[in-house]
Amino acid sequence: MSARDTILGKLRAAPRSAPVEADVAAYYAGTEKLVGLTALKHWAALMRAVRTEVLWVRESDWPQTLAEEVATRGVRTLLLAPSTAHGARAAAALAELAEPPLRLGFDRPIDGWKATLFNTVDAAFTRVRAGIALTGSLIAWPGQDEPRTMSLVPPIHFALFDTRTLHPDFFSAMSTENWAAGMPTNALLISGPSKTSDIQQTVAYGAHGPRELVVLAVVPDDIDLADLEADA
């Protein structure tokens, strides 16, 4: 008999336990939801608490902010997805810099250039799918244009986040977007740059992944940016 059959056989031979109810939807329907400005402020406070840089930007000017941040950090090689609309806008803004960084697209499988990716790329720019207010998280579904390693390997990750996609909590995100109908190869929640507390419980950032996470949080025009920082 195979290990599979033996294990399943043993489990099936065990007494059946009484059926148990676990209504996750009902539980989350009963929890208080963060909305509007409060949600956005809460999200930003939690992200900043884990050393994420949150920059409030408008749809019209985020490429400019990105370019400034790239320049400030002295990024020499940046990975982005020029085939996407946001990637193309970013590339154009970066080209305007006095000393523009080398802009690379992830246009071939990782296998041929792993070492280059690890050793020479300083930063990557990607768009995230959504955010979660309650826990201060970003949701990423890496794909063909923006593969998994873009938000992982380069020391700096610039993330473009449309704040209109902010969900109150993880359950709302998952159910509203109906994730159960089809998951991507890899879905991801990101809350801050990589960190560890493995040495005497002291937090240190940049353990393996990005040392810096910079979020360009695109705010709709009807929200006053000053309000976002008030009492923050």
Partner 1 sequence: MNEATLTYYPSRDFKANARAALADSNLRQSFRGAMDFLMGKRAAQFPDAHELAELRKLGESIRQKSLARLPELLERLEAKLNENGVTVHWAETTEEANAIIHGLIAAKGGKLAVKGKSMVSEETELNHYLEARGVTAIESDMGEYIVQLAGEKPSHIIMPAIHKTRADIAKLFSEHIPDTPYTEDVDALIQIGRQALRQMYVTADVGVSGVNFAIAETGTLCLVENEGNGRMCTTVPDMHIAITGIEKVIEKLADVVPLYSLLTRSATGQPVTTYFNMISSPRREGEMDGPREVHLVLLDNGRSQAYSDEQLRKTLQCIRCGACMNHCPVYTRIGGHAYGTVYPGPIGQIISPHMLGLENTVDLPTASSLCGACGEVCPVKIPIPEMLMRLREESVRDPHEKVAHPLRGQGAGVDREVKLAWRLWSGVYSKPGAYRFFGWAATRLRGLTPRHQLGWTQNHVPMKPAPKTLHELMRERRKETAR
Residue 75, φ and ψ in degrees, nearest 5: -70, 125
Interface with partner 1, residue 87, by CB under 8 A: no
Instruction: Considering the complex, state which of residue 26 and residue 226 has its C-beta at the smaller distance from partner 1.
Output: 26
Q: CA 42, CA 23: separation in Å to the nearest integer?
A: 27
Binding mask 108-137 for partner 1 (x = CB under 8 A): xxxx--xx--x---------------xxxx
User: Terminus-to-terminus CA distance in the chain, angstroms?
Assistant: 63
Q: In the complex, what is the shortest distance from the CB of residue 185 to partner 1, in angstroms, rounded to a whole number?
A: 5
Q: In the complex, what is the shortest distance from the CB of residue 121 to partner 1, in angstroms, rounded to a whole number?
A: 13
Instruction: Considering the complex, state which of residue 86 and residue 167 has its C-beta at the smaller distance from partner 1.
Output: 167
Q: 156: exposed, middle or buried (C-beta count within 10 Å: 0-12, 13-18, 19+)? A: buried
Q: Which two tokens stand for residue 164?
A: 């209109």
Instruction: Considering the complex, state which of residue 100 and residue 206 has its C-beta at the smaller distance from partner 1.
Output: 206
Q: 155: exposed, middle or buried (C-beta count within 10 Å: 0-12, 13-18, 19+)? A: middle
Q: Which two tokens stand for residue 89?
A: 């806008």
User: How crowded is the C-beta side of 3, counted as CA atoms within 13 Å?
Assistant: 0
Cβ-based neighbour number of residue 124 at 10 Å:
28
Q: What region does 178 belong to: left with phi over 0, alpha with psi -120 to 50, or beta?
A: left
Instruction: Considering the complex, state which of residue 204 and residue 225 has its C-beta at the smaller distance from partner 1.
Output: 204
> How far lies 138's CA from each of 25, 43, 54, 108, 189, in Å?
22, 9, 12, 26, 6
Q: In the complex, what is the shortest distance from the CB of residue 96 to partner 1, in angstroms, rounded to a whole number?
A: 28
Q: In the complex, what is the shortest distance from the CB of residue 225 to partner 1, in angstroms, rounded to a whole number?
A: 26
Count the residues of the shown chain that bind partner 1, applying the rule CB under 8 A.
Answer: 80
Binding mask 1-40 for partner 1 (x = CB under 8 A): -xxx-xxx-xxxxxxxxxxxxx-xx-xx--x---------
Q: In the complex, what is the shortest distance from the CB of residue 33 to partner 1, in angstroms, rounded to a whole number?
A: 14
For partner 1, the binding residues in 165-224 under the rule CB under 8 A are 169-171, 174-175, 179-180, 182-202, 204, 206-210
Q: In the complex, what is the shortest distance from the CB of residue 1 to partner 1, in angstroms, rounded to a whole number?
A: 10
Q: In the complex, what is the shortest distance from the CB of residue 115 to partner 1, in angstroms, rounded to a whole number?
A: 5
Instruction: Considering the complex, state which of residue 8 and residue 97 has its C-beta at the smaller distance from partner 1.
Output: 8
Instruction: Considering the complex, state which of residue 199 and residue 230 has its C-beta at the smaller distance from partner 1.
Output: 199
